[in-house]
Structure 1
Amino acid sequence: MKVNLTRHQKGIADARLLMAQEQAMQAGSFLSVYVDKMIKDVINQVKTDASAESNEQYRTLYKSMTSSNAGKSVQQILMSCNTRASFDKTRTAFRFCIVEQIKQLRREAEKLSKAKDYKGSQELTVEAFKLSIKFEDEFLSDKRILFSDIKSKIGYDKKSLSKRKTAKNAPSSNEVLDNMKPAFFKRHSICFSVINRFGIRPSEMQKGVKLQFENGRIFAVVRGAKVAKDRGQQVRAIGYEPDLNNAADKLLLEAIANSPNKVFECVQTKKDYNALRKHFNKYHEGFSLYSYRHAFASDLKKSGATRRQIAEAMGHRNTVSQEFYGYSKQGKGDREFVAKASNDIKVKPDIKEYIKSKSDAGSIGSKISQSKKSTAANLQRGSRTSIKPR
């Protein structure tokens, strides 16, 4: 790959090279050692320990955005995002994939060096160096594009199309299922029902979700996605009492009843997910399957579930993440949920626990007020007192 730098970026590269040359000369070492160190210093600023599922999503989005915006700069692509969620995901995808490219160039350069192809190794190191300069300038410097830049551009439409805000008007399960043609219904209705009623992530559907009916409740056993050392849940189980007037619940109950050992495993291929997603784009414009994850969070909040229970049901490792999903006022409040997850939940302290009672606050306030009055009175008396030399 050939990396093209702006005039400003070329200036940064020249300054870095001059500095590396001086360091190498003083240490009696090779220039390439210090150039490679500069490259590593840049890529080490970026956290890249996301789950395999997230990484694949980033690669897909990056490939899609670069191919559909051929000839456009990174700044132009980012400025075309209309919501904060879209901007954040696009920026993260670009950061991840460009860092991957830099690492790949370094690995290939090292292989050539071991094979004693020093010229080829040097050429790849130069490209990795140039790409690191470009990346740092566009994603890590003070000049990087922020969402505030998008909001301030002329003609920006402030109307949000975020899945979180549109979730309350998402079409009901009955409406969506009634709109499916027979062949499409046969292939996709069960998977849609699981997503609709349990707020399952697309990547979790691809792993498979086990459904069972126990003591009057439908349970979903989910193998988590977005799982890392300090995030996500390996496994979680969520249950609620079914509503026999709900088409999705009736489908799930039938699927369980007709399955061996009364355990139904719902697996959705990537191809099937894309087909269902396109169906939504065509027949339910403005909504997506992920809208139901936000709607599920709203229902959890409305049901009176604790923050820990919500985290377990959503597949989160902490109680902070749920703040970005759904709204209590948008929830239906027609279901009571039970949920357990395999990993411990880090609970964010509630500020209310630290607030004094009104009576205590009143006594403190009155003491402050008395102190202010006393100080003011003393100052007034002092201003009327003349100080004469003895």
Structure 2
Amino acid sequence: MNYTILLFNIVNEMELIMLNNEEKQEIHSNAFTIIENANKLHVINKNRRISEKTRLSYNRIAERLLLINKIMPINAASSKSSYYVYKAAVNSYLLDKISATILLMNKLRAFEAEWLKEVSNLKLYIEFINAVGIDQGKVNLLAYKTVSFNSEWSIKTKEFKPKAISSKSKRLKSLPKNWTEKIFLTALESKSKHILPIATLAITGCRPQELEYGVELKLNDDRSISAKIFGAKTHDGKYGQAFRMFTSKSDSIEFLYLIDQLEQNSGILTVKANAGALCDKVPYLSKKTMPRLKEPVSAYCYRHRFSGDLHKVGLDSEAIAKALGHSNDQSQQKYSKSHRSGATGFSISNIVAATPVNLKNQAKLRNSIHDLAQP
């Protein structure tokens, strides 16, 4: 089969050409086999352990390859590792399409033409996913270790070169002291729909994904704000915190804005945002606000700044882990300990988390001290 033609059929807004009677009969006769194969892939998709952030990232890559550049992963990659990223992205995208179609099938059974069209969609998705190659168990990856692909990969444009990953904790040190205030004022001036989420990032240090779940804010009598955050990165409770709560106070412009919004809403707010849109908006606002920055501010920079706040007020490692939503005190080692905020008077109290913190660093320290004390 010519998979380039197949690719263009799928890419064209996922719309199929009108089927003639012969094609309809062929699809109808093979429909149950197609649906059976699609159900197997649907099960694989349901059992995938993939975060929403990764899924969104994969969707962007797949749409860029399939919808914009109309190119196969093997032709887009510049190395073996990038090939597997692109292949995984396209497979993820197609598996989601298959799952969405399977869920629609029962509703469409009463309308044969539409039902046949969806079966035809499934047929194309399956053929294309077979062409890309789904590699459960990384069997093919192991086989490819001794193979050179240089002859198969064409010269690539800069668009497909992976971006260098920078340390956000180090990045924080290069930002101006009042960077959060500057970005927030730009968001206010542009009347962005992300004003509330950005303010919430600033005072809670929550992850962007946690704003999709909704961060609950409550105004207290002493004009402090209590926050309840439902944790991301918990992997079905295996680690991380399912939720965390704390009360904080600050004189930052974001904090004062949230107090004003809470007063207008009977003292209670649930702040929500699309994680992908928020992660795109923060760098955009930072470029608009500080065009001379070498690298834009990311949504995660707020979390690292919040970690710096926690260290500044002298919290122990257990309290910091709880406030950041960690299940152990080792994860915080990746976060900033420096304070880069123009706000003063920050305080935090009443820190509660879903589960006790595993104090691995403290245990290591105790063991080291014990070993050093031995004669």
Paired position in structure 1 for 2:62 = 63
Number of residue pairs aligned between Structure 1 and Structure 2 = 297
Whole-Å separation in 2 of the counterparts to 1:224 and 1:50: 16
Whole-Å separation in 2 of the counterparts to 1:281 and 1:138: 42
Does residue 295 of the first structure (1) align with residue 305 of the second (2)? yes
- Structure with the greater relative contact order (CA < 8 A, sep ≥ 6): 1 or 2? 2
SS in 1 for 2:49: coil
Does residue 237 of the first structure (1) align with residue 242 of the second (2)? no
Q: For 1:151-162, what aligned pairs fall within 5 Å after superposition?
A: 161-162=166-167
Question: 1:224 Cα deviation (Å)?
Answer: 2.4
Paired position in structure 2 for 1:54 = 53
Structure 2 residue aligned with 1:95, among 71, 76, 88? 88
Indicate if the aligned counterparts of 1:212 and 1:256 stay in contact, CA closer than 8 A. yes
Change (3 A) 1:348 1:97: farther
Whole-Å separation in 2 of the counterparts to 1:105 and 1:294: 38
Indicate if the aligned counterparts of 2:203 and 2:254 stay in contact, CA closer than 8 A. yes
Indicate if the aligned counterparts of 2:246 and 2:352 stay in contact, CA closer than 8 A. yes
Paired position in structure 2 for 1:207 = 213
Whole-Å separation in 2 of the counterparts to 1:330 and 1:80: 40
Paired position in structure 2 for 1:22 = none
Paired position in structure 1 for 2:353 = 341
Does residue 280 of the first structure (1) align with residue 294 of the second (2)? no
Q: For 1:244-263, what aligned pairs fall within 5 Å after superposition?
A: 246-260=252-266, 262-263=267-268
Question: 1:299 Cα deviation (Å)?
Answer: 2.7
Indicate if the aligned counterparts of 2:311 and 2:337 stay in contact, CA closer than 8 A. yes
Whole-Å separation in 1 of the counterparts to 2:328 and 2:146: 30
TM-score by length of 2: 0.59
2:271 maps to a residue whose letter is C
Change (3 A) 1:277 1:360: closer
Gaps of 5+ in 1: 5-35, 82-86, 112-119, 146-155, 364-390
Whole-Å separation in 1 of the counterparts to 2:180 and 2:142: 44
Paired position in structure 2 for 1:30 = none
SS in 2 for 1:220: strand
Paired position in structure 1 for 2:156 = none
**1:123-163, Cα deviation, whole Å (9 max, x unpaired):** 99887666447784775557399xxxxxxxxxx99986443
Indicate if the aligned counterparts of 1:256 and 1:263 stay in contact, CA closer than 8 A. yes
Does residue 143 of the first structure (1) align with residue 142 of the second (2)? no
Question: 1:319 Cα deviation (Å)?
Answer: 3.2
Indicate if the aligned counterparts of 2:215 and 2:227 stay in contact, CA closer than 8 A. yes
Whole-Å separation in 1 of the counterparts to 2:165 and 2:182: 24
Paired position in structure 1 for 2:225 = 218
Change (3 A) 1:144 1:188: farther
Change (3 A) 1:296 1:78: farther
Question: 1:251 Cα deviation (Å)?
Answer: 0.7
Indicate if the aligned counterparts of 1:3 and 1:131 stay in contact, CA closer than 8 A. no
Whole-Å separation in 2 of the counterparts to 1:222 and 1:179: 26
**1:152-205, Cα deviation, whole Å (9 max, x unpaired):** xxxx999864433212334523222333463526x4333211112222222222
**1:318-365, Cα deviation, whole Å (9 max, x unpaired):** 3343333x222456696343321223434425421112469735x3xx
Whole-Å separation in 2 of the counterparts to 1:233 and 1:192: 22
Whole-Å separation in 1 of the counterparts to 2:75 and 2:274: 34
Whole-Å separation in 2 of the counterparts to 1:3 and 1:345: 52
Whole-Å separation in 2 of the counterparts to 1:234 and 1:306: 21
Whole-Å separation in 2 of the counterparts to 1:240 and 1:282: 30
SS in 2 for 1:184: coil
Whole-Å separation in 2 of the counterparts to 1:320 and 1:2: 51
2:331 maps to a residue whose letter is S
1:166 maps to a residue whose letter is R
Indicate if the aligned counterparts of 1:222 and 1:236 stay in contact, CA closer than 8 A. yes
**1:81-106, Cα deviation, whole Å (9 max, x unpaired):** 9xxxxx8xx96685365367579889
1:343 maps to a residue whose letter is T
Whole-Å separation in 2 of the counterparts to 1:163 and 1:190: 23
Whole-Å separation in 2 of the counterparts to 1:304 and 1:317: 20
Gaps of 5+ in 2: 5-36, 106-119, 148-160
SS in 1 for 2:203: helix
Does residue 198 of the first structure (1) align with residue 204 of the second (2)? yes
SS in 2 for 1:264: strand
**1:210-252, Cα deviation, whole Å (9 max, x unpaired):** 2223355322212223333213433221322222xx2112111
Structure 1 residue aligned with 2:182, among 175, 178, 184? 175
SS in 1 for 2:91: helix
Indicate if the aligned counterparts of 2:327 and 2:355 stay in contact, CA closer than 8 A. yes
Does residue 351 of the first structure (1) align with residue 346 of the second (2)? no
SS in 1 for 2:145: coil
TM-score by length of 1: 0.57
Could you say which structure has the larger radius of gyration? 1
Indicate if the aligned counterparts of 1:208 and 1:266 stay in contact, CA closer than 8 A. yes
